[in-house]
Amino acid sequence: MKKRERKQFSKRNLALTIILGIFISIMIITLFNLVVTYFYEPPKYEDFCKNLEMDVYSVKYSANAQCANCTFSKELQEEIDTCNRENGIPIYNYDDKLCATSVKECNFCNEEFNNASENYNVNTFFIYAIIGFLIIVAGLFIHILLIQIVALPAGAFLVIEAAVKNFDDKLLVIIVFSLLIAAAIYLALKKLGNK
């Protein structure tokens, strides 16, 4: 009778350990994401393109919605097309009726924001990939079942999240992931071979 109770108790403990491990793993992933975005904030569009939405108006309309008598200018359209080809956002000059007359400047804040975002994604890719890999290694070498259940999926998820954050640079992701997978397999085989 006692043997059966111990067996049920150990199965219950194992089930609770797995469930608790999954919850803790999710909390660690969430905490890690919060810590990274707190200490290393992503670029904000507003920081690059301040008040841009107030300055950009359509060529066929004026800054004043009540003025619908703006004339279409072929020269203005050519200026806009040139700015758009260069990945800029046209900022207009207006006449006394607040109709767009010419392109005052071609603002490249959108391109600057995209470059900053790409740089941020590369940096966070390495942060997530390295930390995720280290958590996986800890899970492989710590003999406590709860720690293994927490560390292995949390580390794997962070490594996968690293790839998702920087999926635009596929070659970098392929190279780093190949190295991480090879290292993880080597460490796992080494760890499992020692038993």
Is the pTM higher than 0.85? The answer reads no
Contacts of 64 (CB under 8 A, 6+ apart): 97, 98
- What single string gives the DSSP state of each residue in 103-123? EEEEE-HHHHHHHHHHHHHHH
pLDDT digit string, tens, across residues 73-115: 788 888 888 988 888 888 888 888 778 888 888 888 888 888 9
* Residue 130 near residue 83 (C-beta atoms within 8 A): no
**Same domain as 103, residue 115:** no
**Same domain as 128, residue 101:** no
Last residue of a domain, one of 70, 91, 107: 107
In the chain, the number of structural domains is 2
Q: What is the mean pLDDT of the chain?
A: 81
Domain span holding position 85? 49-107
Q: Of 169, 99, 89, 98, which Cα lies nearest the Cα of 129?
A: 169
Burial of 54 (0-12, 13-18, 19+ CB in 10 A): exposed
